[in-house]
Amino acid sequence: AYDSAQNQYWGGSNVSAPILAYLGAEEAVDNSLSSIGFLSENANQLQALQIFIEHRYYGKSIPFGSREEAFQNASTLGYFNSAQAIADYAEILIDVKKQLRAEHSPVIVIGGSYGGMLASWFRLKYPHVALGALASSAPILTLMTLSHQKRDIIPLLQRIFDETCYQTIKKSWSVIDEIASQPEGLSVLSRKFQTCSQLLTSSVLENYLMLMYTGAAQYNRPPRYPVTVVCGGIDGAAHGNDTLGKIFAGVVAYRGNKSCYVNEPKNKSETDVGWRWQTCSDMVIPIGISNDSMFPANQFDLNDYIESCKDSMASLLGLIGPLLTLEAMFASNIIFSNGLRDPYSSGGVLENISDTVVAVHTQNGSHCLDIVGANTTDPDWLVNQRKVEVKIIKGWLDKYEDFALKSSKTFSGNNAQIQDRTWLNDTMRKEKNKEEGDCQNSSLQKLNMLEQYELSYIHLYVKMIYIRINTKMICQCVYDPWLFLWASQPQNS
Listing DSSP states for 317-381 in one string gives ----B-------TT--SEEEEEETTSGGGGGS--S-SSSSEEEEEESS--TTTTTBPP-TT--HH
Question: For residues 450 and 301, what is the distance between their CA atoms, to the nearest angstrom?
Answer: 18
Name residue 348's amino acid: G
> Is 361 one of the annotated active-site residues of the chain?
no
3-state secondary structure of 195: strand
Of the candidates 282, 342, 346, 366, the residue annotated as catalytic is 342
Name residue 254's amino acid: Y
Closest CA to 138 of 160, 158, 110, 161: 110
Task: Provide CB contacts within 8 A for 67, sequence distance 6+.
Answer: 270
Distance in angstroms between the alpha carbons of the first and the last residue of the chain? 34
Task: Provide CB contacts within 8 A for 353, sequence distance 6+.
Answer: 328, 331, 359
Name residue 488's amino acid: S
Of the candidates 113, 137, 202, 293, the residue annotated as catalytic is 113
φ, ψ of residue 437 to 5 degrees: the values are -65, -40
> Is 378 one of the annotated active-site residues of the chain?
no
Sign of CA dihedral 13, 15, 16, 19: negative
If you count them, how many residues does the chain have?
Answer: 493
> Is 148 one of the annotated active-site residues of the chain?
no
Listing DSSP states for 76-139 in one string gives HHTT-SHHHHHHHHHHHHHHHHHHTT-TTS-EEEEEETHHHHHHHHHHHH-TTT-SEEEEET--
Active-site residues, by number, are: 113, 342, 367
